[in-house]
Amino acid sequence: MNRITAVRERGAARAAKSACAGTGHFARLVAAGIMLGVLVGCSAGPATFEETRSLMGTYISITVVETERNRAEQAIDKAFSEIRRLEHILSIWQEDTEISLLNRTAQRVPVQVSEEIRRLTETSLEVAARTDGAFDPTIGPLVALWKITKRKVPPSDEEVLQARRQVDYRKVDLEGDRVKINGEGTTFDFGGIAKGYAADRAVAVLKQEGIRAGIVSVAGDIRVFGGADRGTPWKLGIQNPRGPGLIARLLMDDGCISTSGDYERYFEYEGRRYHHIIDPRTGYPAAGARSVSVLGTESVYCDGLATGFFVLGPDAGLARMNEQGIAGLIVGSDGKLRMSRALETGYRIELTGSDPP
């Protein structure tokens, strides 16, 4: 799906007028777990352009603030081209991608890899260590087993045990630009970090094209930049994982937020929800949290850490956030909100009300 719009058209101009009058009109983008408020300008000048396309198995939206439509469209198109390039490298569902080739050959000999694979391997191993393996880039065997979007019945305990034995990030050796997997059947799946990396790369392309303010939304991974340049911060909201509305609102000039939750992809069987975030230590969907949001400066890290802290659960996840000075918000399976010290002290955030039911 391709769709490009300029926010300041006739109807938006009327909305802008009401926003100046204090009604607070926003054009809203909804991503997995995050709502974005795109402020409509109150005076003549740059317009806000948005385009949405389907890539990496999800909908991706790119918004830029620019005076010239042609320049905005060209920058947006180049950013999407970069994401498409990454998809052709990182998709495990296509046999001819670099990651698929790596998974087939790196168990036999060290394989020289591209800068993208090297960077993601390095970052993934770092995040795995920081979460005690709760995030694991070798989760591939379990992802292939569960296939959450296609299953209606969970796999057997024996199948889960067999796949779990193949998952261990410590089996990966990275030396320079060469990767070796020391375990038969062990395979990479960068699904827990690739979308954050794609958001980072898209923002880099937009900046190279001279865009000074914008948003890239890749599923639950959001990068914003240029709030100071546009004269007002971007307004973001964290979605209630069990119903309509928001659990928190925050303001951000430059940075990112990534949310992992159990409500986007799942199936229910005999009264239990089986979602897509698999605990590599047990082989089953992680229990204890409904959603985890992590804020920072690079989406590639926020994406992986949100997954890892979700798997760790509310208590251990919050403890690890505080130990490492990470800004984050956890909604436990009990519905209670837990906010890290770094989020409380380092960000402009407002909780919208009581804990979600």
Burial 179-207 (b: 16+ CB within 10 A, else e): bebebeebbbbbbbbbbbbbbbbbbebbe
Cα 313 to its chain centre, rounded Å, is 18
Q: Is the dihedral of CA 220, 305, 251, 298 positive or negative?
A: negative
DSSP 65-94: EES-HHHHHHHHHHHHHHHHHHHHHH-TTS
Q: What is the mean pLDDT of residues 179-194?
A: 95
Task: Determine the longest span between alpha carbons in the chain, in angstroms.
Answer: 66
pLDDT at 6: 44
Neighbours of 71 (CB within 10 A): 15
Residues of the chain with pLDDT > 90, as a percent, come to: 76
What are the residue boundaries of the structural domains of the chain, listed by start?
3-70+215-351
**CATH number of this structure's domain 3-70+215-351:** 3.10.520.10
| pLDDT tens string 8-35 | 332 332 222 222 333 233 333 444 455 4
Res. 7 pLDDT band, cuts 50 70 90: very low
Residue 342 has pLDDT above 90, yes or no: yes
Structure tokens at 295: 């804020």
- 24 against 253, higher pLDDT: 253
Nearest in space to 276 (alpha carbons), one of 268, 288, 284, 265:
265
Res. 149 pLDDT band, cuts 50 70 90: confident
pTM of the model: 0.87
pLDDT at 231: 84
- Contacts of residue 313, defined as CB under 8 A and 6 or more positions apart, other chains included, come to 286, 287, 288, 289, 332
pLDDT at 150: 84
Quote the CA–CA distance of 12 and 201 in Å, as a whole number.
30
Nearest in space to 329 (alpha carbons), one of 294, 290, 287:
294
pLDDT at 98: 97
Identity of residue 76: I
pLDDT at 36: 52
Cα 125 to its chain centre, rounded Å, is 18
Structure tokens at 178: 């060469």
Task: Report the chain's mean pLDDT, rounded to a whole number.
Answer: 87
Range with the poorest average pLDDT among 33-37, 191-195, 270-274: 33-37
149 by Cβ neighbours in 10 Å (0-12 / 13-18 / 19+) ranks as exposed
Q: What is the mean pLDDT of residues 190-211?
A: 97
Strands 221-225 and 172-175: unpaired
Range with the poorest average pLDDT among 20-29, 151-160, 204-213: 20-29
Say if CB 303 and CB 192 are below 8 A apart.
yes
